[in-house]
Amino acid sequence: MKKPAVEDAVPQPALLSRRRALSSGAAATLAAARGLAPAVFAGCSLGIPEKARTVTVGLLHSQTGPLAISATGLRDIELHAFEQINAAGGILGRRIVARAPDPRSRADLFVKRSRQLLEEGAVAVFGCWASLSRKTVLPIFEEFRRLLFYSVAYEGNESSPYVVYGGMVPNQQILPAIDWLGSPAGGLRKKFFLLGSECVFPRTANYVAKKYLQSKGMKSVGEAYVPLGNRDFVATVREILASGADCVLNSVNGDSNLGLFAAMADAGIDPEKLPLVSTRIAEEELRSLLPAQVKGHYAVSCYFQSLPTEANRRWIAGFRDEFGFDRVTGDPMEPDWCLVHLWKQAVEKAGSFETEAVRAAMRDGLTFDGPGGTVRLDPKTQHCDKYFRVGRIRGDRQFDIVHASPEPIEPDPYPQIAFPGWKCDWTKGGIERGPEVSIDGDV
Amino acid sequence: MQFWGYDLYSLYNVPPARLAMLFIAVFVGFYWAGSILFRPFLRQFVKNTPGANDIVGYILSCFCVFYGLLLGLIAVTAYQNVSDAGENVTREAAALSALYEDVSRYPEPHGQNLRWLLRDYTRYVIKYAWPLQRMGIVPEEGTIRAEAFHEKLLDFQPQTPAEEILHAEALRQFNNFLECRRMRLFSVKSALPTTMWYVMILGAILNMAICWLFDMRFLTQLVLGGILAAYLGTMMHLIFDMNQPFRGDVCITADAFESLYKRMDEE
């Protein structure tokens, strides 16, 4: 016998009304799902591409190789700046993603990494230490029409619409250093030995220095260049002693300074009589040097950690809170910090991350109150005004500031004494060329 | 994991409790929708068959045994995967801690620089690597920091027999640390194969389809089947949550590194 289905035994409502009821129910469920979806997915990023909420910047600093000793601090201060910016809501509502590949202190890798960064969409890149790396990557930035922010003191004799220079140029660092060394406070020194790494910066900066020394009636009694990464300075120190110099203008880069200071100490050189005046030594480098070997020598810079201002103390404390109690700040970390904030200002002013809009915003002139004082970005040269400061190295790997310029010095990437006829004004058509100058020629 | 062109891993961005609700809602919703749309057609196959409910019940119980076994084994595998990855993370943090202790005994300035580089690495892992891992991305820049440390470590030239022993131990510990680190990076993308997900989802659908064959009151069908579907949804959510070791609610946290970093920073 056929067994009746369970439903057959129960009186059923009319089929049409049941269908209507079911379709109404389905419609109500869909409506409820649509209404509840925002609540379920609230706070999550489903459906919004990650790239739409972020913007990438590149940090191009050597984290290994001979320049790592100096450049790693720049990476960290930039990370610190971007972390703070992100914590405050980012820029134009977008979180900054900092990508930091390692060019390993090699010019060829600087090219490869910068191209990679720009191809991956980095809107700006903060980076480079040695001038060789900057000059090597410059055509790539010009090709992509993106901005490179360069914070290290350099030799000048260069200006590009796609580079913003945050470091000192010779008229803000080397020339005032010569003036100071020739003054009674600096020991009335007249005979200079010019020492540097075999790189663009020391060669060109020393050319400018020689021209200036000549104009001031002082003398360059010797000149020596060592390969980057070289640590054997015994012969060089002998050469310095034989020259009869009363001070050494030191533009040696990176960890070569370890060998240089060790050789100076081994030769029993008294910093009072023959000081090394370094343009590339800051607190970060002093971490790797033995205090006994460096004490009493000098560095010329725009910033020292020992600067006794409240803004500086707050900045150092903030950095140490994040990166560790024993971290130090110095030049070019301070200019680097200022560059990040100047870029932020420019982007906010432009309302866009697009390079030309940012450059246009910079043309109006920007200022930022940095830990080392107020910094103004010169729209003509895309360089910054800088204080000039002289520090004497203490036994605790810090500096006593023994001299400071009363006002920031305006940048002149083409000092007329060395590059006559050359001028730069990006608000009025760019570079005005003078006669070609050979830095290898007689001075 | 792509499913009909959609990246299902973006579901990890949904807060855990809501994701669980979502899984249950989808499974129950599917069951209910199927009860309305497919049940009338499926029932045609068993209609007028004597003892149809008994046959369907027998088939369902057989099917559930196999499907239950599959789900159980997959859940265990997924948990084991998370557990192994967690162990690697702990070992990496332990190796890092031991290495930090070793280099603390180095003469200055080497000791300070090496300690600082290890702290930098640990900070990177906590602040940058972990958020990337939670998005299923293998972090790359930790390698640079490890290389920077290795370079500085090799820079040190031992001057005494004691320093030689210390240096050899530091190098051994560094290799141990590198091995653990590599294992962690490998496990970032480890997950169940997509085919397995297809099998699980198909199994769940068949499970529900068999339930639609039961001859019972519509409301009873909705309630009983809904309960089964809700549990299937919960199981799927659990497996999905454990699918990738660094994502979801049941994931490995950076606690081991955080406590190490705190200790490094306090010294």
Cα angle value A58/A63/A69 (rounded, 5°): 125
In a domain, B161, yes or no: yes
Same domain, B103 and B167: yes
Q: Which residue of B has its CA nearest to A22?
A: B36
B-chain residues near A40 (CB < 8 A): 14, 18, 21-22
Q: Which residue of B has its CA nearest to A284?
A: B113
Same domain, B103 and B183: yes
In a domain, B1, yes or no: no
Same domain, B172 and B89: yes
Same domain, B37 and B96: no
| Residues spanned by the domain of B201 | 15-50+192-239
Determine whether the interchain pair B120/A323 forms a contact, defined as Cβ–Cβ distance below 8 Å. Answer: yes
In a domain, B210, yes or no: yes
> What domains appear along chain A, each with residue ranges and CATH number?
50-168+308-386 (3.40.50.2300)
List the helix and strand counts (H, then E) for chain A: 15, 17
Confidence of residue A9 (pLDDT cuts 50, 70, 90): very low
Q: How far apart are CA A252 and CA A197, in angstroms?
A: 5
Of A100 and A50, the one with more pLDDT = A100
- Half-sphere exposure in the Cβ direction for B115 (13 Å, CA): 24
Same domain, B23 and B152: no
Q: How far apart are CA A98 and CA A80, in angstroms?
A: 11
B-chain residues near A3 (CB < 8 A): 50
Q: Looking up tokens 């680190």, which residue turns up?
A: B181
Q: What is the pLDDT of residue A409?
A: 96
Give the residue-averaged pLDDT of A395-420: 95
Q: Which residue of A has its CA nearest to B156?
A: A288
Q: How far apart are CA B212 and CA B259, in angstroms?
A: 53
Confidence of residue A52 (pLDDT cuts 50, 70, 90): low
Q: What are the respective helix, strand and coil percentages of chain A, to the nearest 5?
A: 40, 20, 40
Identity of residue A397: R
In a domain, B146, yes or no: yes
Determine whether the interchain pair A324/B116 forms a contact, defined as Cβ–Cβ distance below 8 Å. Answer: yes
Same domain, B174 and B147: yes
Q: What would the two tokens of residue A440 be?
A: 């290898």
In a domain, B105, yes or no: yes
Confidence of residue A38 (pLDDT cuts 50, 70, 90): low
Determine whether the interchain pair A68/B148 forms a contact, defined as Cβ–Cβ distance below 8 Å. Answer: yes
Of A49 and A374, the one with more pLDDT = A374
CB pairs under 8 A between A and B: 82
Mean residue pLDDT of chain A comes to: 90
Q: Taking every pair of C-alpha atoms in chain B, what is the biggest distance, in angstroms?
A: 94
Same domain, B185 and B105: yes
Of B8 and A334, the one with more pLDDT = A334
CB A165 within 8 A of CB A383: yes
Same domain, B259 and B129: yes
Same domain, B128 and B259: yes
Whether pTM exceeds 0.95:
no
- Please say if the pLDDT value at position A3 is more than 70: no
Same domain, B129 and B258: yes
Model pLDDT for residues A12-21, shown as the tens digit of each residue: 554 456 566 6
In a domain, B186, yes or no: yes
Model pLDDT for residues A108-121, shown as the tens digit of each residue: 999 999 999 999 99
Residue in B50, B113, B145 closest to A3 by CB: B50
Same domain, B22 and B130: no
Among B107-111, B148-152, B242-246, name the most confident range: B148-152
Same domain, B262 and B132: yes
Q: Looking at CA atoms only, how far is residue A45 from chain B in angstroms?
A: 6
Q: How far apart are CA B249 and CA A372, in angstroms?
A: 46
Give the residue-averaged pLDDT of A119-139: 95
Mean residue pLDDT of chain B comes to: 92
Q: Looking at CA atoms only, how far is residue A55 from chain B in angstroms?
A: 16
Strand pairing category for A373-378 and A383-384: antiparallel
- Please say if the pLDDT value at position A443 is more than 80: no
Model pLDDT for residues A141-194, shown as the tens digit of each residue: 999 999 999 999 999 999 999 999 999 999 999 999 999 999 999 999 999 999
Model pLDDT for residues A291-347, shown as the tens digit of each residue: 999 999 999 999 999 999 999 999 999 999 999 888 999 999 999 999 999 999 999
Neighbours of A17 (CB within 10 A): 10
Q: What is the pLDDT of residue A67?
A: 87
In a domain, B88, yes or no: yes
Model pLDDT for residues B26-71, shown as the tens digit of each residue: 999 999 999 999 988 888 888 888 888 899 999 999 999 999 999 9
Number of domains within chain B = 2
B-chain residues near A327 (CB < 8 A): 116
B-chain residues near A64 (CB < 8 A): 144, 147-148, 151
Residue in A43, A64, A324 closest to B119 by CB: A324
In a domain, B95, yes or no: yes
Q: Which residue of A has its CA nearest to B20?
A: A40
Residue A195 three-state SS: strand
Residue in B15, B135, B144 closest to A44 by CB: B15
Residue B253 CA: distances (Å) to CA of A292, B90, B233: 45, 10, 25
